[in-house]
Amino acid sequence: MNSDESNTRENEQDQKPAIEAFDGEQREQAAQASEDVSAELAVAASGEPERVPLELPVRDLNKTEEPKVSLQPIQPLEDNKVVADLTQTVADLKRQEQELRQKIAILQETQNQLLQNQLAKTRDAVEQLVQEGVSELEQRKQALQISIEQLERRRDRIRAEMRTTFAGVSQDLAIRVQGFKDYLVGSLQDLASAAEQLDLAPSPEPTPSSEAEFREPEQAPSPRFTEQGFQEQARQIRNILDQYRTLPDYYGPPWQLRRTFEPIHAERVSNWFFSQGGRGAIKTMGSRLQNILVGSAVISVMRTLYGDRLRTLILANTPERLGEWRRGLQDCLGVSRADFGPERGVTLFEEPYPLVQKAERLINQKQLPLIIVDETEDQISLALLQFSLWLAFASDPQQMSPYQY
């Protein structure tokens, strides 16, 4: 450290003469400048222009130029420039700050606008989805209401059908009833056979021949609707059918048709009366209810013509179908259950042989049997063809009957 101080002192001693020489030159320049100023002032006072020498010594020119190249008078100018640069920089920074603030404000406003637009679009989309969902639910509700109404109508129709037909009974119940029916039918047949063997009335005198015995029942009425002698009766039948078709009486007396009678039904009945003479088969109407309606019309017309002498015999091969015939006749003719029985207006049979026997006994009693055969009977017994009134419903071979159970 002492060595550094000694070196500094030596450098200062070496530079001292140069400094003193420079100071002397400065003093000489200042004196020369003052002399020049005083001379100029004197010239100005005398009014004579100063004569400037054309040649200046090189020494004086050098002396006047040395102060101009000195750095000491320029130092304040550089500071001012730096200050001006800094001031300009600060102004630029402030201007940039303002621009940035404006840009930030614009960006925030743009962002808020975008958010608002996006929220509006989202709200609109949600409202549209809600409306679509509500409309879809309303459509489904309407569809369900329509389905419910259809199901209710179908339920009411099925209930109405079950009240008039046997369609609501299960197969299991039908099988159980069939067994009990077989027992009852067998017992009744045995009872009927035993009653026929009893000698309750005096036997008629024997006739000379079997031919006379066969012709004896001819005393019973034997209608021939196609013959000339029955024109008045045919006219009466047509009037009755027209009345059923045009003026139906739904609350008429028993044995009178109480249901709507369409032209197709009237055509089938008229054809059976006048074309087939009251004995023959007609094509089924497609359902047992329609067939019962046609049979009820025939029974009603014959009941009007012959009164209590008419006895209707129904042939069907199952108790279920006989039950449908019984309920259908009750509904169409206004009769009661008491009108069904062996000695009543309508008798039901499952086999053709007991029916033939019953028809023969009715003819012997001067009664008029009307035989009606259900469409499920594939074959008709030849014994039925001997009677004057029989109506059979022929099934359509191209269409399977819905009652095959």
DSSP string, 75-134: HHHHHHHHHHHHHHHHHHHHHHHHHHHHHHHHHHHHHHHHHHHHHHHHHHHHHHHHHHHH
What is the per-residue pLDDT for 341?
A: 86
pLDDT digits (tens, 9 = 90+) for 53-83: 444 444 444 444 444 444 454 456 677 888 8
Residue found under tokens 């207006």: 345
* Domain presence at residue 209: no
* Domain presence at residue 149: no
What is the per-residue pLDDT for 115?
A: 93
Pairs from 25-34 (Cβ < 8 Å, separation ≥ 24): 25/63, 25/66, 26/67, 28/63, 29/63, 29/64, 29/66, 29/67, 32/63
Identify which has the larger pLDDT, 71 or 35: 35
Report H helices in 198-287. Answer: 210-215, 231-246, 263-270
Phi, psi of 342 (to 5 degrees): -60, -35
* Domain presence at residue 155: no
What is the per-residue pLDDT for 376?
A: 84
Which of the four pLDDT bands, split at 50, 70 and 90, describes residue 380? confident
Nearest to 387 by CA among 402, 403, 373, 401: 373
What percent of the chain stands above pLDDT 90?
A: 26
What DSSP assignment string belongs to 302-349? HHHHHGGGEEEEEE-SSHHHHHHHHHHHHHHH---GGGBSTTSSEEEE
Rounded Cα gap, residues 83 and 64, in angstroms: 31
Average pLDDT for 185-210: 58
What percent of the chain stands above pLDDT 70?
A: 63
- Residue 391's DSSP bridge partners are 280, 372
Report whether pLDDT(36) > 70.
Answer: no
Sign of CA dihedral 212, 217, 219, 221: negative
Tokens of 280: 């023959």
What is the per-residue pLDDT for 78?
A: 72
What is the per-residue pLDDT for 277?
A: 85
Full residue range of the structural domain in which residue 33 is found: 21-48+55-69
* Domain presence at residue 364: yes
* Alpha-carbon distances, residue 23 vs 26, 47, 322 (angstroms): 5, 36, 159
Residue found under tokens 């009164």: 307
* Domain presence at residue 327: yes
* Alpha-carbon distances, residue 192 vs 188, 196, 369 (angstroms): 6, 6, 19
* Domain presence at residue 9: no
* Domain presence at residue 127: no
What is the per-residue pLDDT for 385?
A: 85
> For the chain, what is the mean pLDDT?
76
Tokens of 385: 């063809």
Helices 231-246 and 288-306: angle between axes, nearest 10 degrees = 130
- Counting Cα atoms < 13 Å in the Cβ hemisphere of 340 gives 16
Lowest mean pLDDT, pick from 97-101, 224-228, 273-277, 307-311: 224-228
pLDDT digits (tens, 9 = 90+) for 299-334: 999 999 888 899 999 999 888 889 899 999 998 998
Read off the pTM: 0.46
* Number of domains into which the chain is organized: 2
Looking at 69, 100, 132, the residue that finishes a domain is 69
Lowest mean pLDDT, pick from 150-164, 186-200, 234-248: 186-200
What are the b/e assignments for 190-220, b being 16+ CB within 10 Å? eeeeeeeeeeeeeeeeeeeeeeeeeeebeeb
Rounded Cα gap, residues 401 and 163, in angstroms: 21
* Domain presence at residue 211: no
Which of the four pLDDT bands, split at 50, 70 and 90, describes residue 10? low
| Cβ–Cβ under 8 Å, residues 366 and 219 | yes
CATH number of the domain that residue 383 is part of: 3.40.50.300
Rounded Cα gap, residues 351 and 384, in angstroms: 12
Report whether pLDDT(110) > 90.
Answer: yes
Which of the four pLDDT bands, split at 50, 70 and 90, describes residue 284? confident
Sign of CA dihedral 293, 294, 298, 299: negative
Report whether pLDDT(50) > 50.
Answer: no
